[in-house]
């Protein structure tokens, strides 16, 4: 406590800057690749498009980035959304079915899809706000039902996509950079402006810090949460559309499988506490990049895709431990004892 009373600015700012952990993780991954295979970093230009692992990290990471951006807002309000994987499946399935099986143009199908997934997110929010159900459980319902809904939409089939405009979403390039990345950048900039240039960010953090107190200070916590869950749904649905576009097919069983975990991981490692309150959009983007870099590095190192969850789990729990006060205290005690001994 006494330490907190007289903060030593330089020391505190570095250790408590939440971006330190994802950056440190990224540095580790980069260092590992520099040692084992520097060709990891080679970027070439083919047909006017950028190619290489670094580009893959960003283009394949785009979906998790979208999920993580939405999840960040939800977690900031003290909630969590477990249904994003299932909503991804619904988004991909619905858009693909509308375009391929029902002959809609993408310009009609995409707004309809985003409206539907937004409504699903709103439904999550309504259960949390109106039904007063814990977010884990409220979103669990859609997590259970969502994949069934996606299967019903596609009639249990994998829907192939031939529509060029649709495929462009996942495979197109602008100025040599994948379209999906431009999309994420646009979403990020819009969100960052809305959040940091208006009071919206402050309001969300207030609700997450202490909902009760925020209500007394005149914030409509309920309405804010509804919006946040709806935004999370829209972004998840968009990620599902991108996913379907990038593999030219919407598979209701596979799209978004376990992606809710990736999203939560990206948010937590990006320095947003699960207890709500202060949040960092950029941290979540960094978290998503770290996750994708880690995955790609493991693939390159010959680790089978199916085994990749093991190191992922160790990183998740490791990061949580680093954020735990008790663990930090134990470690600093060990270091102190070691220092005295020497």
Quote the least distance from Cβ 191 to another protein, whole Å.
Answer: 24
The yes or no reply on residue 87 touching another protein (CB under 8 A) is no
* Minimum distance from residue 268 beta carbon to another protein (Å): 7
Q: Which is nearer to another protein, 155 or 164 (CB)?
A: 155
Q: Which stretch binds another protein (CB under 8 A): 93-101, 132-140, 162-170, 334-342?
A: 132-140
- 145, 158, 167, 177: which one binds another protein (CB under 8 A): 145
The answer for residues whose C-beta is within 8 angstroms of residue 124's C-beta and 6 or more apart is: 81, 83, 135, 138, 139, 142, 229, 232, 233
Q: State which of residues 63, 147, 225, 259 lies at the interface with another protein (CB under 8 A).
A: 147
Q: For another protein, which stretch binds (CB under 8 A), given 108-116, 136-144, 198-206, 234-242?
A: 136-144
Per CB under 8 A, the list member of 142, 183, 191, 238 interacting with another protein is 142
Q: Concatenated DSSP letters for 221-236? A: HHHHHHHHHHHHHHHH
Minimum distance between the CB of residue 324 and another protein, rounded to whole angstroms? 4
* Helices 259-269 + 53-76 axis angle, to 10: 80
Under the criterion CB under 8 A, does residue 255 sit at the interface with another protein?
no
Contact map string, positions 150 to 179, toward another protein, x by CB under 8 A: -xx---x-----------------------
**296 to 41, 61, 244, 285: CA distances (angstroms):** 12, 10, 20, 17
Give φ, ψ of 50 to 5 degrees: -80, 135
Candidates 39-47, 141-149, 204-212, 226-234: pick the segment binding another protein (CB under 8 A): 141-149
291 touches 265 (CB < 8 A)? yes
Q: Angle, nearest 10°, between helix axes 84-96 and 53-76?
A: 120
Helix (H, G, I), strand (E, B) or coil at 248: coil
Q: How far is the CB of 95 from another protein (least distance, A)?
A: 19
Binding residues for another protein restricted to 97-126, rule: CB under 8 A: none
Two tokens, residue 81: 């959304």
Binding piece for another protein, criterion CB under 8 A, among 39-47, 226-234, 284-292, 301-309: 301-309
Question: Which distant-in-sequence residues (6+ apart) come within 8 Å of 216 by Cβ?
Answer: none
Q: Of 303, 301, 298, 269, whose CA–CA distance to 285 is shortest?
A: 269
The correct pick among 112, 136, 189, 301 for binding another protein (CB under 8 A) is: 136
- Contact between 189 and another protein per CB under 8 A: no
Q: How far apart are CA 52 and CA 41, in angstroms?
A: 7
Residue 140 or 165 having the CB closest to another protein? 140
Angstrom distance (rounded) from CA 253 to CA 156: 9
Other C-beta atoms within 10 Å of 69: how many? Answer: 25
Token digits for 236? 């998840």
Q: Is 320 in the site for another protein (CB under 8 A)?
A: yes
Q: Which residues bind another protein (CB under 8 A)?
A: 80, 127, 131-134, 136-138, 140-145, 147-149, 151-152, 156, 261, 264, 268, 274, 304, 306-314, 316-317, 320-321, 324-327
């Amino acid at each position: 406590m006494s330490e907190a009373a007289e903060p030593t600015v330089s020391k505190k700012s570095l250790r408590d800057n939440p971006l330190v952990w994802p950056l440190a993780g990224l540095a580790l991954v980069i260092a590992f690749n520099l040692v084992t295979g520097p060709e990891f970093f080679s970027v070439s230009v083919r047909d006017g498009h950028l190619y290489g692992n670094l580009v893959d990290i960003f283009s394949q990471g785009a979906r998790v980035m979208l999920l993580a951006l939405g999840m960040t807002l939800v977690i900031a309000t003290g909630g969590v959304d477990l249904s994003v994987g299932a909503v991804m499946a619904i988004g991909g399935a619905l858009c693909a079915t509308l375009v391929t099986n029902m002959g809609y143009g993408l310009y009609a199908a995409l707004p309809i899809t985003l409206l539907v997934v937004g409504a699903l997110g709103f439904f999550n929010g309504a259960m949390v706000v109106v039904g007063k159900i814990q977010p884990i459980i409220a979103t669990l319902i859609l997590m259970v039902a969502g994949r069934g809904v996606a299967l019903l939409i596609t009639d249990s089939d994998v829907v192939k996509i031939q529509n060029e405009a649709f495929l462009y979403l996942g495979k197109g390039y602008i100025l040599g950079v994948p379209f999906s990345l431009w999309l994420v950048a646009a979403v990020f900039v819009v969100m960052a402006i809305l959040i940091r240039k208006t009071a919206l960010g402050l309001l969300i953090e207030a609700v997450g810090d202490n909902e009760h107190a925020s209500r007394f200070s005149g914030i409509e916590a309920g309405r804010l949460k509804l919006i946040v869950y709806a935004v999370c749904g829209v972004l998840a649905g968009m990620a599902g559309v991108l996913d379907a576009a990038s593999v030219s097919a919407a598979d209701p069983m596979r799209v978004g499988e376990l992606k809710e975990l990736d999203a939560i991981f990206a948010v937590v490692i990006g320095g947003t506490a699960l207890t709500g309150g202060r949040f960092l959009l950029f941290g979540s983007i960094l978290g998503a990049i770290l996750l994708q870099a880690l995955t790609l590095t493991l693939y390159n190192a010959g680790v089978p895709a199916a085994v990749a969850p093991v190191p992922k789990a160790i990183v998740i729990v490791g990061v949580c431990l680093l954020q735990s006060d008790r663990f930090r205290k134990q470690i600093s005690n060990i270091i102190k004892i070691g220092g005295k001994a020497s």
